[in-house]
């Protein structure tokens, strides 16, 4: 049973990391243009160097 004291906080912490990542993505506007982002990942424009 003692292991629960370790596992529950760990699972909650992992979930919290996911939630924070979601907040970050939301704040960065990653849900504004789902259609465009699906295509953007396939283009080669900034393969050589990042966008200035």
Partner 1 sequence: MSTCMTQALNAPQLAACPACAAAPLAEHLAALPQNAKIMLSLPQIHCAACISDVERALLNVEGVTEARVNLTLRRAAIEAAPQITAQDLTQLLQQAGFEAHELDADMLSTTQADTQSRDLLMRLGVAFFAMMNVMLLSVAIWSGADGVTRDMMHWISAAIAIPAVIFCGRPFYVSAFWALRAGRLNMDVPITLALVLALGTSLFETMQSGQHAYFDAAIALCFFLLGGRYLDHRTRAGARSAAQELAALDVPRACRLRDGIEERVLAAELCLGDLVRVKAGGRIPVDGVVREGRSEVDRALMTGETLPAFVQENSSVSAGEVNLTGSLVIETHAAGRDTALHKIAELVAAAEAGRGNYTSLADQAAKLYAPGVHILAGVSAVGWWLATQDARIAFNIAAAVLIITCPCALGLAVPAVTTAASGRLFRKGMLVKNGTALERLSEVDTVVFDKTGTLTLGALQALDLQTLPDGAKRVALGLAQASSHPLAQAVSKGLQGLGVRPSAVTDLSEKPGFGVEGDWRGKTVRLGRAAWVGAQGGDVTATYLKIGDAEPLAINFTDTIRLGAAQTIAALKAQGMRVVLMSGDTEGSVSRLANALGIEDVQAQVLPAEKAARIAALAQAGGKVLMVGDGLNDTAALSAAHVSISPASAVDAARSASDIVLMGADLSVMLDALGTAGQARRRIRENFAIATIYNVIAVPFAVMGLATPLVAALAMSSSSITVSLNALRLR
Smaller CB distance to partner 1: residue 32 or 48? 32
Residue 50 Cβ vs partner 1, minimum distance, rounded to whole Å? 14
Element containing residue 39 per DSSP (H, E): helix 34-40
Smaller CB distance to partner 1: residue 34 or 50? 34
Smaller CB distance to partner 1: residue 35 or 48? 35
Q: Are 25 and 31 in contact (CB under 8 A)?
A: yes
Distance between CA 39 and CA 25 in Å, rounded? 18
Residue 22 Cβ vs partner 1, minimum distance, rounded to whole Å? 5
Which residue is it, tokens 């912490």? 13
């Amino acid at each position: 049973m003692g292991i629960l004291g370790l596992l529950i906080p760990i699972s909650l912490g992992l979930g919290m990391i996911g939630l924070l990542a979601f907040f970050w993505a939301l704040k960065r506007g990653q849900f504004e243009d789902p259609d465009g982002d699906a295509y953007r990942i396939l283009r080669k424009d900034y393969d050589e160097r990042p966008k200035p």
